[in-house]
Amino acid sequence: GQQLNQSPQSMFIQEGEDVSMNCTSSSIFNTWLWYKQDPGEGPVLLIALYKAGELTSNGRLTAQFGITRKDSFLNISASIPSDVGIYFCAGQRETSGSRLTFGEGTQLTVNP
Amino acid sequence: GAVVSQHPSWVICKSGTSVKIECRSLDFQATTMFWYRQFPKQSLMLMATSNEGSKATYEQGVEKDKFLINHASLTLSTLTVTSAHPEDSSFYICSARWQRNTEAFFGQGTRLTVV
């Protein structure tokens, strides 16, 4: 099935640094979602974006829904060791029965 | 957030046998449940969508006779991997939502190993 282009694939940063990742698509999505997955667990929703141009924060996390509706980014500020994990973007279209299309994921490693 | 529970968390089975995975919404009624498969270091791939009381809709390339899905109640969906083979070894994850425009919550996943 179709996947979103998510980058970077992996990141190695020092504790305290800010991090940014993004997703792009060739087609429009009505909703963008960002998830975090820990090893051996299911994804947990971090931020949901419903309107083009929307900028939403959740603690140290900030995400934006691109104006074109074909992209989104997630920023994590002042990273801490527990931020380690895989971050996935997901897009949703009402015309697809509200199914989610996932990006390939960004593996984040935070060195203390 | 709402709680979705999968059982078992992990299972090892012999090649040729069948294995059933349960997905339960614990504190809400799930009209729709989704089943995903995730291979190591890869993303989640949707296998099928099931609506309570009706047949599941399978994604292209997913064999419906091999991956049997039953969504008989508003709180339970099951995925049965029939005649499992080593290549079916994967992480299977379900998600559930109350209605069309609401958030879907994910279960903790089931690690299936076929030996």
Instruction: Give percent of chain A with pLDDT exceeding 90.
Output: 87
* pLDDT tens-digit series, residues A46-100: 999 999 999 999 999 999 999 999 999 999 999 999 999 999 999 988 766 678 8
**Substitution target from B41, B44, B58 for chain A, most A beta carbons within 10 A:** B44
**Substitution target from A6, A21, A25, A102 for chain B, most B beta carbons within 10 A:** A102
Query: Given an 8 Å threshold on Cβ–Cβ distance, is B1 in contact with A45?
Result: yes
Strand, coil or helix: what is B44?
A: coil
Chain B's closest residue to A93, CA to CA, is B101
DSSP B89-115: -EEEEEEEESSTTS--EE---EEEEE-
Strand, coil or helix: what is B87?
A: helix
Backbone angles phi and psi of B87, in degrees to 5: -70, -10
Per the structure block, which two tokens stand in for B75? 């709180």
Across chain B, what does the average pLDDT equal?
A: 93
Quote the CA–CA distance of B27 and B38 in Å, as a whole number. Answer: 26
From chain B, pick out residues whose CB is under 8 angstroms from the CB of A21.
none
Backbone angles phi and psi of A96, in degrees to 5: -100, 20
Query: Given an 8 Å threshold on Cβ–Cβ distance, is B34 in contact with A99?
Result: yes
Of A54 and B99, the one with more pLDDT: A54
Whether the CB-CB separation of B38 and B44 falls below 8 Å is answered with: yes
Give A42's DSSP letter. Answer: -
Of B100 and B87, the one with more pLDDT: B87
* pLDDT tens-digit series, residues B38-84: 999 899 999 999 988 888 999 999 999 999 999 989 999 999 999 99
Q: How far is CA B67 from CA A95, B79, B82, in A?
A: 25, 6, 6
Whether the CB-CB separation of A25 and A96 falls below 8 Å is answered with: no
**Substitution target from B7, B106, B110, B111 for chain A, most A beta carbons within 10 A:** B106
Query: Given an 8 Å threshold on Cβ–Cβ distance, is A103 in contact with B95?
Result: no
Query: Given an 8 Å threshold on Cβ–Cβ distance, is A98 in contact with B101?
Result: yes
Residue A105: which of B6, B43, B93 has the nearest Cβ?
Answer: B43
Q: How much is the pLDDT for B98?
A: 84
Whether chain A has a CB inside 8 Å of the CB on B60: the answer is: yes
Query: Given an 8 Å threshold on Cβ–Cβ distance, is B43 in contact with A1?
Result: no
